[in-house]
Amino acid sequence: MTRTISAEELQKQRPFTEKVRQHYIAFKPDSPPLACVRTFGCQQNVADSERIKGMLAVMGFGFTEEPSEADFILFNTCAVREHACDRVFGNVGALKTIKRRRPHVLIAVCGCMVQQPHVAEKLKKSYPFVGLVFGTHVIHQFPELLYNALQQRRQLSVTPQEDGVIAEGIPVVRDGSFKAWLPIMYGCNNFCTYCIVPYVRGRERSRDPEIILSEARQLVADGYKEITLLGQNVNSYGKGESHGVNFAELLRRINAIPGDFTIRFMTSHPKDATHELFDTIAACEKVSRHFHLPFQSGNNRVLKAMNRGYTREQYLSLVAYARQVIPDISFTSDVIVGFPGETREEFEDTLSLVQEVGFTSLFTFIFSPRVGTPAAAMEDPIPADTKSVWFRELSALQEELSAQRLAVLVGTEQRALLETAAEGYLEARLPDNSIVRVEADPQYIGCYATVRIDDARSWVMHGTVLNIEN
């Protein structure tokens, strides 16, 4: 059952916020303490870090990207694949020298990884210089946890296994000034057999639509140009709640907020993507014509073994319906290569699905066994190097298809958001989520521009800015 943290409960954090502030004023009277917050993982983790930073700011912290300058270092971790976990352990290990040189520094590790008991145990045993470990369900208690960790010499580890909570009213320091993450729900109920997320993020729970709408209105008023609605399965937004607002209705209500902004969302689960949703996107001019719809495998036996809840045919029929009602829609997807027991023939079904749909781009992963998930216990006779060969084959196919797709765009004019400065150029994002390199003054970052696509090589496009909306 969802536990909502009441305003009174959140108020209890106030005295701890003040105590931490005083602690650092006494320790460092002449300058604010510095926090270095690093996020590993998905946008949900980024959104959590933005709230942790919000609480740190109220406690008087400034921010630095440099761990060696920081008084407080926090790693917000991801458990989705082995590689993500190895990276975190490597990075945490490297902090030992900092702790030795500057013993006052408090090192903390939070997020999905530490929700796994074996990881919390390993941090306790092998990384004693980490002062604070806290899980995904206690973020709202962060001021209290931080204060307590500052008071004790041993590692404080708080990782309750909960179904999950919803806490509103936590302050936010956003990483971006024109693109914002807006979580609409937390957790996941789907238990895909390979995936750790439901174990570390708890059960699915949706935020109140009025709270989401007021946050969206504020973002628009603050000048944000792109709002991305977040959830592990946004299509099941509102399920089991009494307010009766489903995801399509939420989109309609956000779309009705006056202003010039784009609505994106991720991630959609094919089993819950409805015709109503595609009809709504077709009717809502602010909703991006890009759909991230992970299919994971093109083979029905593998999909069943993954517990995905749809077939290849159902997936293709969704894509066909979407293209019928939104002709300019583009798709991206996630795919897993080498699920336990996958055969060459079954992998070829993935290749043919990729060919058939024509995705803008793909996020391709080699299966990584996660402790405690059903797939980790399945027999896996396919050797790792065979999986690597398949992975490269799939990547090469997608590269070829992306290049063909981009070539069609050459000569067209597109509305793009000028996003980031790179060496000598700016990166602009097209509605379908692809990137075009243009020459423009970095002062226009955050503005929409009309861009003519001049050239497309593999996945890199070059264009000319024709007009900037300022």
Choose the binding region for ligand SF4 from 110-118, 190-198, 353-361, 376-384 (rule: CB under 6 A): 190-198
- How close are the terminal C-alpha atoms of the chain, in Å? 47
Q: Contact 116/200 with Cβ under 8 angstroms?
A: yes
Q: Is 295 in the site for ligand SAM (CB under 6 A)?
A: no
Choose the binding region for ligand F3S from 39-47, 266-274, 294-302, 441-449 (rule: CB under 6 A): 39-47
Calculated CA dihedral for residues 426, 429, 430, 436, nearest 10 degrees: 40
Residues in region 86-145 near ligand SF4 by CB under 6 A: none
Side chain identity, residue 47: A
Nearer to ligand SAM, 300 or 450 (CB): 300
Residues in region 189-248 near ligand F3S by CB under 6 A: 196-197, 200-201
Residue 136 CB neighbour total at 10 angstroms? 26
Cα–Cα distance measured from residue 78 to residue 92, given in angstroms and rounded to the nearest whole number: 13
Q: State which of residues 108, 119, 120, 197 lies at the interface with ligand SF4 (CB under 6 A).
A: 197
Sign, Cα dihedral of 78, 82, 85, 86: negative
Q: Is 306 in the site for ligand SAM (CB under 6 A)?
A: no
Binding-site residue total for ligand SAM (CB under 6 A)? 18
Task: Report, in Å, the least distance between residue 29 CB and ligand F3S.
Answer: 37
Binding mask of the shown chain, residues 215 to 234, with x at each position contacting ligand SF4 by CB under 6 A: -----------------xx-
Query: Which tokens is 129 given?
Result: 């210089």
Binding mask of the shown chain, residues 53 to 92, with x at each position contacting ligand F3S by CB under 6 A: -------------------------xxx------------
Q: Is 81 in the site for ligand SAM (CB under 6 A)?
A: yes
Closest residue by Cα to residue 315 from 298, 329, 335, 291: 298
Q: Give the helix/strand (H/E) hosting 334.
A: strand 330-337
Nearer to ligand SAM, 194 or 448 (CB): 194
Q: What are phi and psi of 303, to 5 degrees?
A: -60, -40
Q: Contact 418/412 with Cβ under 8 angstroms?
A: no
Q: Contact 17/59 with Cβ under 8 angstroms?
A: yes
Sign, Cα dihedral of 463, 464, 467, 469: positive
Nearer to ligand SF4, 235 or 246 (CB): 235
Task: Report, in Å, the least distance between residue 188 CB and ligand SAM.
Answer: 6
Q: Any idea what DSSP says for residue 456? A: E
Q: State which of residues 34, 46, 112, 195 lies at the interface with ligand SF4 (CB under 6 A).
A: 195
Query: Which tokens is 455 given?
Result: 């050239």
Q: State which of residues 33, 41, 202, 340 lies at the interface with ligand F3S (CB under 6 A).
A: 41
Closest residue by Cα to residue 197 from 174, 164, 224, 220: 164
Q: At what angle do helices 247-255 and 209-221 cross, to 10 degrees?
A: 30
The partner in contact with residue 191, picked from ligand SF4, ligand F3S, ligand SAM, none with C-beta cut-offs of 5 to 8 angstroms by kind, is: ligand SF4
Q: Is 232 in the site for ligand SAM (CB under 6 A)?
A: yes
Nearer to ligand SAM, 83 or 100 (CB): 83
The partner in contact with residue 141, picked from ligand F3S, ligand SAM, ligand SF4, none with C-beta cut-offs of 5 to 8 angstroms by kind, is: none
The partner in contact with residue 45, picked from ligand SF4, ligand SAM, ligand F3S, none with C-beta cut-offs of 5 to 8 angstroms by kind, is: ligand F3S
Cα–Cα distance measured from residue 401 to residue 100, given in angstroms and rounded to the nearest whole number: 51
Looking at 379-458, list the stretches that DSSP marks H as alpha helix, in order from N- to C-terminal side.
Answer: 384-409
Q: What are phi and psi of 166, to 5 degrees?
A: -120, 125
Q: Is 115 in the site for ligand F3S (CB under 6 A)?
A: no
Cα–Cα distance measured from residue 108 to residue 77, given in angstroms and rounded to the nearest whole number: 11
Q: Is 89 in the site for ligand SAM (CB under 6 A)?
A: no
- The residues, any chain, with a CB within 8 Å of residue 451's CB and separated by 6 or more, are 413, 414, 415, 416, 428, 430, 436, 438, 463, 464, 465, 466
Choose the binding region for ligand SF4 from 138-146, 192-200, 215-223, 276-284 (rule: CB under 6 A): 192-200
Choose the binding region for ligand SAM from 84-92, 274-282, 367-375, 430-438 (rule: CB under 6 A): 367-375
Q: Is 376 in the site for ligand F3S (CB under 6 A)?
A: no
Interaction site with ligand SF4 (CB under 6 A): 188, 190-192, 195, 197-198, 232-233, 269
Residues contributing to the site for ligand SAM (CB under 6 A): 42, 80-81, 194-195, 197, 232-233, 267, 269, 294, 296, 334, 336, 365, 367-368, 370
Binding site for ligand F3S (CB under 6 A): 41-42, 44-45, 78-80, 112, 196-197, 200-201
